[in-house]
Amino acid sequence: MLATLAMLFSLPGAAAWAIAAENGGEVDVELLLAVDVSRSMDYEEVRMQREGYIAAIQHPDFINAVRGGLLGRIAVSYFEWAGVVDPSSRIDWQTIETAEDAKAFAARLQERPIITNRRTSISAAIEEGTIALLSNRYAGMRRVIDVSGDGANNVGQPVALARDKAVAAGIVINGLAIMLRPSTTVALDQYYADCVIGGPGSFVLPVHRVEDFTTAIRRKLVLEISDRGASSDPIPIDDPQTDCLVGERQWQNLFDR
């Protein structure tokens, strides 16, 4: 296992994660929330997205999903990304077992200033999420990267490559496709289905209206915690119907005109 992780990610932290797992820290799910704050969304949209996560984490449906697990506790971490991951946005791993735990995590998120940035690198978000999951002190029955985004990858390594490495390490990637306005030549939910999500039971949920943020985020978190979307077969990732480099090509076309 350690040799495989080192080969895939060259992470010395992978060994530390495995040792820590042997010493405890068992949870039902290790959930990494990777949230898009690219400038293709305006301030109001980013604010609504943030408030959606704050509300969802404290909602009784989420708490009940946590309590309904075999162990009744999960580990959650959070960061924001655009062309790169914003280091200042990282919220360290926290165990959530009670409503008070969820409230404390939401309060940490509430304190974060809203900052946007250029470009869109879903692959950077997946890479960062993979590192965070493989190097933390928890031993989860499942490890999940929850990616929200409003556009296709247009910088960094190809998203399908980052996705495949994460899935090979036993991580599930789910997506929230923010489709408030057209941003690619393909439907974003289809792009996420073919190029971003992966692993057993992975899924993508679309958001078409700003007012739907809170409900969609809550629904996605509950599905992830309760594992209701899981199946025995992994989502196919070797024959996508969508051009997974559409974002890179679209960005390049802006400079070729």
Torsional class of 193: left (φ above 0), alpha (ψ -120 to 50), beta (otherwise): alpha
Rounded to the nearest integer, the mean pLDDT of the chain is 85
Q: What is the dihedral of CA 213, 112, 33, 20, to 10 degrees?
A: -160
Rounded to whole angstroms, the Cα distance separating 18 from 139 reads 8
Closest CA to 123 of 198, 69, 220, 49: 198
Contact 116, 46 (CB under 8 A): yes
3-state secondary structure of 81: strand
Contacts of 113 (CB under 8 A, 6+ apart): none
CA 198 to chain CA centroid, Å, is 11
Residue range 198-209: average pLDDT?
Answer: 94
Break the chain down into helix, strand, coil percent, rounded to 5.
45, 20, 35
Give the 3-state secondary structure of residue 179. Answer: coil
CA 156 to chain centroid: 17
Given a contact cutoff of 8 angstroms between Cβ atoms, the answer to whether 150 and 38 are in contact is: yes
Please give the Cα distance from 29 to 227 (Å, whole number): 9
With cut-offs at 50, 70 and 90, classify the pLDDT of residue 140. Answer: very high
How open is the CA angle 81-82-87, to the nearest 5 degrees?
A: 40
Over residues 84-110, the pLDDT tens digits come to 999 999 999 999 999 999 999 999 999
Q: Domain 25-227 adopts which CATH fold?
A: Rossmann fold (3.40.50)
What's the confidence (pLDDT) of residue 13? 43
Query: Per residue in 4-55, pLDDT tens?
Result: 444 555 544 444 434 444 444 899 999 999 999 999 888 888 998 999 999 9
**178: its two tokens:** 């923010």
Structural domain boundaries in the chain? 25-227
